[in-house]
Amino acid sequence: MALQSGKKLPMFIGHIWSKQKSRWTLLGLRLLAFLAAAAATLVMVLNKQTKTFVVATIGTTPVNLTLTAKFHHTPAFVFFAIANGLVSIHNLVMIMVDLLGSKFDYKGFRFPMIASLDMLNLALVSGGANAAAFMAELGKNGNSHARWDKICDKFGAYCDRGAGALIASFLALALMLLISFLSILNHKLVNSSSHNSHNNIIALPN
Amino acid sequence: MAETKRIFTFLLRFIAFCTTLSAVIIMISSRQRATVLVFSFEAKYSDTPAFKYFVIVNAIVSIYGFLVLFLPSKSLLWRLVVALDAVFTILLTSSISAALAIAYVGEKGNPIAGWLPICDQVTKYCNQVKGALIVGFISVVLYMLLFLYSLHTVLNPLLLEKS
């Protein structure tokens, strides 16, 4: 089949990638991305560890200091939690729209809207995941030049849970990259050129 | 109409290239020697992996921006430019957010972890890093605009066809 750009695809791609199969693949990927982002948010928000240190000994009684490591002490982790929360909401809304909202289409505006929102949320989750990753690296290795000690040897469980949340977020990032790419490819492959002529109506004013 | 659009995008790409290049230069040239108590130490951008990542990503994006400036407007490589715009915009957002996170710790410290802020000891270094981050943020905004514009041209095929 021919794309509207004039290029012809090999015929076997049209046979493998039918419309129904692609729709369910995308839906499954979106569900996975939603679960990964939601898991990252939950693990990060519920991340907390309390530990008691003995800082001095006066006579025979030790002086204790209780420290709690919570995620909201670090703004990068707050941003991480908010970004992943927003991304999971976005994926949930996209799943709902895909399942229930096949009638919502304003002059062919649906596909550019979905593609743009996908890309914007991809940028959001990449920002959140990366900021948290570098903060976690600082917590794990410290910074000898700034005299910042590492904290992961003291708050091991906090660090481990944070690492789990980070892994889930990077998984959501990879899945969203795949989803954006596949959704655009799917739209170009499956729709005929007569459908794409509707897109000309929605040209932004130049 | 198409002519003004081409000039406008060329100008936007040129300004975006300038901002990424200046972010790299400002960050690389930020160093300060300070004396605390008896020993002196030097604060450089390469002490922190987040700032190193920021410099590397902005260097790559400025090279890409420089090459795209010379792309003839009728070339078929503009489709690749659309995809690469997406990738590099996302890389830029990740680099600026990482650098901002570490710079925040440097400015305000983290009392729970026992990390003291270092900005009052190396003020010149801190201000220069802040300047580099501001320029980096402007470049992120510009690349977002360019990316949204490329997305618009891809999804509206009228502009990509040779007319």
Give chain A positions within 8 Å (CB) of B104.
75-76
Residue of A123 and A199 predicted with greater confidence: A123
Q: Of A7, A32, A6, A37, which is closest to residue A182 (Cα–Cα)?
A: A32
pLDDT at B158 over 60: no
How many whole angstroms separate alpha carbon B122 and alpha carbon A146? 10
pLDDT at B39: 65
Rounded to the nearest angstrom, the minimum Cα separation between B66 and chain A is 23
How many whole angstroms separate alpha carbon A149 and alpha carbon A131? 19
- Is A146–B47 a contact, with Cβ atoms under 8 angstroms apart? yes
Instruction: Name the amino acid, one letter, at A175.
Output: L
Q: Of A148, A149, A89, which is closest to residue A121 (Cα–Cα)?
A: A89
Read out DSSP for B112-142? TTTBPP-TTTSHHHHHHHHHHHHHHHHHHHH
- Taking each helix axis from N to C end, the angle separating B2-28 and B123-155, rounded to the nearest 10 degrees, works out to 150
User: In the beta sheet, which residues pair with residue A67?
Assistant: A51
- 3-state helix, strand and coil shares in percent for chain A, rounded to the nearest 5: 65, 10, 20
The mean predicted confidence, pLDDT, of chain A is 81
Q: The tokens of A158 are what? A: 């906090």
Kindly identify which residue of chain A lies nearest to residue B117, measuring between CA atoms: A146
User: In the beta sheet, which residues pair with residue B144?
Assistant: none
Residue of A203 and B132 predicted with greater confidence: B132
Give chain A positions within 8 Å (CB) of B105.
74, 135, 138, 148
pLDDT at B160: 44
pLDDT interval class at A6 (50, 70, 90): very low
Residue A142, sorted as left (phi over 0), alpha (psi -120 to 50) or beta, turns out to be: left
Rounded to the nearest angstrom, the minimum Cα separation between B70 and chain A is 24
Residue pair B15/B62 in contact by the 8 Å Cβ criterion: no
Residue B36, sorted as left (phi over 0), alpha (psi -120 to 50) or beta, turns out to be: beta
Rounded to the nearest angstrom, the minimum Cα separation between B45 and chain A is 11
Q: What is the pLDDT of residues B10-62, one digit of tens each?
A: 999 999 999 999 999 999 988 887 766 666 777 888 888 999 999 999 999 99
pLDDT at A108 over 80: no
| pTM for this prediction | 0.83
Q: Which residues contact B118 (CB under 8 A, 6 or more apart)?
A: A146, A147, B43, B106, B126
Whether the CB of B95 is below 8 Å from some CB of chain A: the reply is yes
- Is B155–A115 a contact, with Cβ atoms under 8 angstroms apart? yes
Q: What is the pLDDT of residues B122-147, one digit of tens each?
A: 888 889 999 999 999 999 999 999 98
- Taking each helix axis from N to C end, the angle separating A19-45 and A156-190, rounded to the nearest 10 degrees, works out to 160
How many whole angstroms separate alpha carbon B153 and alpha carbon B161? 10
DSSP state of A17: S
Give chain B positions within 8 Å (CB) of A108.
none
Which of A138, A141, A144 has the most B C-beta neighbours within 10 Å, making it the best mutation to test the interface with B? A138
pLDDT at A105 over 80: no
Over residues A74-85, mean pLDDT: 93
Q: Which residues of A103-120 are buried (b: 16+ CB within 10 A; e: fewer)?
A: eeeeebeebbebbbebbb
Residue found under tokens 């959140």: A128
Q: What is the pLDDT of residues A128-183, one digit of tens each?
A: 999 999 999 998 888 887 778 888 888 888 899 999 999 999 999 999 999 988 88
- Is A127–B96 a contact, with Cβ atoms under 8 angstroms apart? yes
Q: How many CB pairs below 8 A link A and B?
A: 116
Question: What values do phi and psi take at A57, rounded to 5?
Answer: -130, 115
pLDDT at A34 over 60: yes
pLDDT at B3 over 90: no
